[in-house]
Chain A
Amino acid sequence: MKVALKVNGVQRHVDMAPLARLLDALRGPLGLTGTKEGCGEGECGSCAVFLDGVPVNACLVPIGQCDGCEVVTVEGLAAAGHLAPLQACMAEHGGAQCGICTPGMLIAAEALLRRNPDPTPVEVRTAIAGNLCRCTGYERIVQSVLHAAHELRSTEKGAAE
């Protein structure tokens, strides 16, 4: 099946079996290996990407349902070779160790900050509730997201003044 989709702002085409997973399309023909596969069953969130603006598990989405859709992966968060503040904070504040959960965590956190620029720690935990991490114990991830939120708010305030 020929599927046309926009990936990180660029129009792309894949020709795959309709039930092949969006995850396989991304990591295979689309060459975007930032998105990870942990469980393949919707449990761990390491394959999270934005599909038409909402975070989904790419392991549970057949590519046949993606025709005409817009996908943003972890690669799409960074602007022109610079890490986005959220990514930089994750690295700086110990939110990433082995890195397997990190792309999914970043998508989940980005989804939160787009709707809620000033989240509480509990709101951060709720937003990443579908993402499992074997390394960090989560505390540092939550702190990283809160730091990023703070940084983004200050930049925005600076830009407004």
Chain B
Amino acid sequence: MSLVDLPRYEFARPATLDETCAMLAEREAKREKTVLLAGGTDFMVQVSQGKLASDPLPLVVDIGRLDELRGVRLDGSRLRIGAAVTYLELQRDPIVREYAPLVAQMTHDIGGPTIQARGTLGGNLATASPAGDGIAAIAAYDPIIEVQSVRGRRRIPMAELQTGYKATTRAGDELIVAIELPLPAHGAAWCWRKVGTRLAQAISKVALGAVAEVSGGKVGRIGLAIASVGPTTSLLPRTRALVTATPLANLTAATVDAVVAEDVSPIDDVRSTREYRVHTAKAVVRGFLRELGAPV
């Protein structure tokens, strides 16, 4: 499969979510392959690089315009982001900027402006790359990923979504509809820190999304997620446990570094080394904890 094959694909634009689910189920039953298309920033590259199985050729189904996948809504302390909302729309959305500033900040670090104009969180989650910046940013909020199929709607907690490298618990005929963020207290501390070869158009060597509620020198709720330090987005469970169990003033660099090292399992690859990634993961986590007042 390569660029010259692009014209061979068949293409469908169902008008509603139900129609899309029915189409996916029908094709799944007949064991026919289907690929969903949102912003196309992963799909079109895969096609042109010849990374997509083409025998038989999948049907491409455009979901970018489905109403149910569009828009951002605040319901009390929950922020619901449609899976097909683009990074640019998130960047400009006053509700996202106010209530989930970490998500708004992350969008500036996705590719460049033209990628931000098309790429979506649904596509980032479905591609499920451990380097996905969108995933790392939303994972700090411990979100629920809402998926839908003809069998109905299912809510997958972030911690139960990824099972391995680019593998998830989402079934082949399940569409990602929305991401629901349980928001921390308004004004909670947050940080987004992406480390790559350059500021734009670079895949993360390490990227940290973090939110925390602090009161009286102690951390109540904390969310931490790092991209590119393992086969899946790392949710740093041991680091979270240490930080909520210890008054900030009692944290030390050595204890933090030790748990972070246990929480991540990066590899050497073309973009970076295991050693650099472990070092940087520790550094970005300590950087955030320092902002919270820990002497690390």
Contacts and interface: CB of A to CB of B under 8 A. Distances in A.
Say which size band chain A's interface belongs to.
20 to 34
Nearest to A55: B114
Interface stretch (B3-11, B154-162, B206-214, B244-252): B3-11
A84 B44 CA distance: 32
A43 B201 contact: yes
Contacts of B60: 18-19, 62, 64
Contacts of A131: 112
Nearest to B89: A54
Interface in A34-82: 40-43, 45, 48, 51, 54-57, 59-62, 64-65
A45 B201 CA distance: 10
A16 interface: yes
A42 B7 contact: no
6 contacts: A17-B6, A17-B7, A18-B11, A55-B114, A65-B64, A130-B113
A127 interface: yes
B62 A42 contact: no
B115 A16 contact: no
A64 B63 CA distance: 12
Contacts of B11: 1, 18-19, 62, 64
B96 interface: no
A86 interface: no
A60 B41 contact: yes
B118 A130 contact: no
A56 B6 contact: no
Interface in B30-57: 37, 39-41, 44-45, 47-49
A56 B114 contact: yes
A48 to B, nearest CB: 6
B66 to A, nearest CB: 13
B185 interface: no
Given A42-B45, A59-B44, A65-B64, A18 B9 contact: yes
Contacts, number: 92
B6 A42 contact: no
Given A65-B62, A108-B113, A130-B112, A41 B49 contact: yes
A111 interface: yes
B253 interface: no
A42 B41 contact: yes
Given A19-B8, A129-B201, 15 more contacts: A16-B7, A17-B6, A18-B10, A18-B11, A21-B6, A41-B48, A42-B44, A54-B88, A55-B113, A57-B115, A60-B118, A61-B118, A64-B60, A65-B37, A130-B201
Contacts of A45: 112, 114
Contact of B7 (A20, A40, A57): A20
B89 to A, nearest CB: 9
B13 interface: yes
A2 B16 CA distance: 21
A12 B142 CA distance: 47
Given A56-B118, A130-B115, A130-B200, A61 B40 contact: yes
A44 B293 CA distance: 42
Interface string B109-138: 001111101100000000000000000000
Contacts of B8: 17, 19
Nearest to A21: B6
A7 to B, nearest CB: 18
B45 A19 contact: no
Contacts of B200: 126, 129-130
A131 B111 CA distance: 11
A40 B48 contact: yes
Taking each of A17, A18, A40, which has the highest tally of chain B beta carbons within 10 Å of its own beta carbon?
A: A18
B241 interface: no
Nearest to A48: B114
Contacts of B41: 42, 60
A54 B119 CA distance: 13
Contact of A60 (B9, B44, B201): B44
Contacts of B9: 17-19
